[in-house]
């Protein structure tokens, strides 16, 4: 059985829209009981907190390593598979779930209460970007929570998380002991998970073939198909290589005064590189090794381009790989809004938003380059920079959304850097023009006299 046919295992009846929410979160704490889950791999059984209410849909979350968790469904009546990853963020589920970097992943929230502030409207900002979401639709393959809060309350909410998931075809499970699940993933490393709705668990190994969506090029699925311009009246022009850019990256670049041309990840931008005053490489899903075309383009850009280049997350990995560093997969990744990062030059610690499973191996850094930031928890790479050219990148997300705003200044600083380079190029070309008109000798005499 392949991934597609997983959906056919889901029960044929569906949840009716507008029906009363089935899981009443903490209100029903008293009706909960602990159930043990089966463990096909013979490993210690995990416990699941399952709110038992008559007539509700059961859901199962099963790992390739054999453990399974039973709970209640509050999302779409369907099945999905993906890399099981956890985020330690306390808030920001609308932003995380729509972050294209979560494509192909089932997102487990360690914050126990999820859904309590509902889902915001699809309002757009002055650039036409969705204000409260990072992409046009949900990107993750499913969500796993401990305690879904059907009763939501927020001035800006227009619907429940359950309704949003159902409308978007995303399965969601509540009543899972996410603490034990995270302990498990931290111990054994990340693995594939399958989420399915219905009383029957998947017969993993027999009826289901595990299919890893991250084995394919996910960046190609989320990147724009042709160049797209935002804020055409911006004073400097930035080419954004789109590996799955979050809306807030584009927004902050525009707000800082840039005209942003979003380019497909594999766009052959080198022949037109001088149209851009600066280049930006975005975040994106899956392994950076699928983006060889981007890496090759960046290698060429390093030779011919002297203006600022800034990369974020996947952008850090691609910039680093183009510089000659190696990439490796972290055991379970860093995802959350509370990741401490040390800036090596200043020794300053910043709290950052993160969402990545891969990291640059900075034990070897090619000549001319340096590592610039390091993770204070696990020592993994958080940034690299060129020693003489304005090429730099960070593994964390300065654009936040959600998460702390400690490092949003980096996006403004990059645009300021671009402006400063443009001005200095302009001054140089004016000086050259002056020299060629006056003759070099007179010009230097004049300059001496003016000093």
Query: Catalytic residue numbers?
Result: 313, 397, 399
Which positions touch ligand GLN (CB under 6 A)? 101, 283-286, 313-314, 355-358
Contact 75, 57 (CB under 8 A): no
Residue (80 or 355) nearer to ligand GLN, CB: 355
| CA nearest neighbour of 196 among 78, 109, 104, 84 | 78
Contact between 201 and 68 under an 8 Å Cβ cutoff? The reply is yes
Q: How far is the CB of 311 from ligand GLN (least distance, A)?
A: 9
Q: Which residues contact 273 (CB under 8 A, 6 or more apart)?
A: 239, 279, 301, 304, 305
Residue 423 backbone phi and psi in degrees, to 5 = -65, -40
From the number of C-beta atoms within 10 Å of its C-beta (0-12, 13-18, 19+), residue 12 rates as: exposed
Q: List the strands of the sheet with 369-375, edge to edge.
A: 228-230, 258-264, 236-242, 278-281, 309-312, 391-394, 381-386, 369-375, 326-343, 349-361
In Å, how far are 146, 246, 426, 429, 437 from 444, measured between CA atoms? 73, 50, 19, 16, 12
Least distance between ligand GLN and beta carbon 313 (Å): 3
- Nearest CA to 25 out of 145, 108, 164, 131 is that of 145
The tokens for 1 are 């059985």
Q: Name which of 100 and 175 has its Cβ closer to ligand GLN.
A: 100
Closest CA to 313 of 260, 251, 373, 253: 373
Write down the least CB distance from residue 177 to ligand GLN, Å: 26
CB of 332 to ligand GLN, least distance (A): 11
Do 123 and 131 contact (CB within 8 A), yes or no? yes
Structural element, H or E, at residue 375: strand 369-375
Helix axes 314-323, 292-304, angle to 10 degrees: 60
Rg over alpha carbons for the chain, rounded to the nearest Å, is 25
CB within 8 Å of 170: residues ≥ 6 apart: 75, 76, 80, 97, 138, 140, 141, 142, 143
Tokens in use for 16? 């009716």
Least distance to ligand GLN, CB of residue 127, Å? 21
Question: Tokens in use for 280?
Answer: 């930006």
Which residue, among 399, 419, 418, 426, has the nearest Cα to 410 in the 3D structure? 399
Cβ 355 to ligand GLN, closest distance in Å?
4
- Nearest CB to ligand GLN, comparing residues 264 and 357: 357
Please answer whether residues 103 and 285 qualify as being in contact, where contact means their C-beta atoms are separated by less than 8 angstroms: yes
CB 422 within 8 A of CB 257: no
Residue 431, beta-bridge partner list: none
- Minimum CB separation from ligand GLN for residue 433, in Å? 43
Minimum distance from residue 44 beta carbon to ligand GLN (Å): 29
DSSP 37: P
Nearer to ligand GLN, 197 or 360 (CB): 360
Least distance to ligand GLN, CB of residue 246, Å: 8
């Amino acid at each position: 059985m392949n991934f597609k046919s997983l959906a056919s295992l889901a029960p044929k009846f569906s949840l009716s829209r507008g029906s009363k929410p089935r899981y009443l979160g903490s209100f029903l704490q008293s009706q909960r009981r602990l159930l043990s889950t089966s463990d096909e791999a013979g490993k210690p059984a995990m416990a699941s907190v399952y709110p038992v209410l008559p007539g509700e849909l059961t859901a199962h979350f099963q790992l390739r390593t054999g453990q399974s968790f039973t709970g209640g469904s509050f999302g779409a009546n369907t099945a999905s598979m993906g890399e099981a990853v956890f985020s330690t963020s306390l808030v920001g589920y609308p932003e995380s779930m729509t972050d294209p970097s979560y494509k192909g992943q089932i997102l487990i929230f360690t914050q126990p209460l999820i859904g309590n502030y509902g889902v915001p409207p699809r309002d757009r900002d002055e650039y036409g970007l969705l204000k409260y979401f990072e992409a046009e639709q949900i990107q993750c393959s499913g969500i796993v929570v401990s305690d879904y809060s059907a009763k939501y309350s927020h001035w800006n909410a227009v619907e429940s998380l359950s309704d949003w998931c159902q409308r978007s075809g995303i399965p969601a499970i509540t009543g899972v002991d996410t603490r034990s699940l995270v302990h498990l993933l931290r111990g054994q490393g990340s693995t594939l998970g399958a989420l399915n709705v219905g009383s029957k668990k998947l017969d993993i190994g027999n009826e289901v073939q595990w299919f890893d969506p991250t084995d394919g090029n996910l960046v190609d699925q989320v990147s724009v198909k042709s160049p797209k311009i935002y804020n055409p009246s911006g004073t400097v022009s930035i080419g954004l290589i789109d590996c799955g850019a979050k809306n807030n990256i584009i927004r902050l670049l525009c707000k800082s005064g840039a005209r942003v041309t979003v380019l497909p990840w594999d766009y052959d931008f080198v022949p037109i590189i001088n149209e851009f005053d600066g280049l930006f490489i975005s975040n994106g899903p899956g392994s950076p090794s699928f983006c060889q075309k981007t890496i090759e383009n960046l290698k060429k850009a390093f030779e011919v381009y002297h203006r600022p280049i800034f990369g974020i997350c996947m952008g850090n990995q691609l910039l680093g790989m183009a510089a000659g560093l190696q990439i490796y997969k972290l055991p379970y990744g860093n995802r959350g809004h509370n990741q401490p990062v040390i800036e090596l030059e200043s020794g300053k610690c910043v709290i950052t938003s993160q969402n990545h499973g891969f990291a640059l191996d900075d034990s070897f850094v090619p000549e001319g380059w340096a590592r610039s930031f390091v993770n204070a928890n696990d020592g993994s790479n958080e940034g690299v920079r060129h020693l003489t050219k304005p090429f730099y990148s960070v593994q964390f997300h300065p654009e936040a959304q959600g998460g702390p705003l400690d490092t949003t200044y980096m996006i403004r600083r990059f645009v300021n850097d671009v402006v400063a380079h443009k001005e200095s190029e302009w001054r140089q070309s004016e000086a050259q023009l002056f020299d060629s008109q006056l003759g070099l000798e007179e010009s230097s005499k004049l300059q001496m006299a003016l000093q």
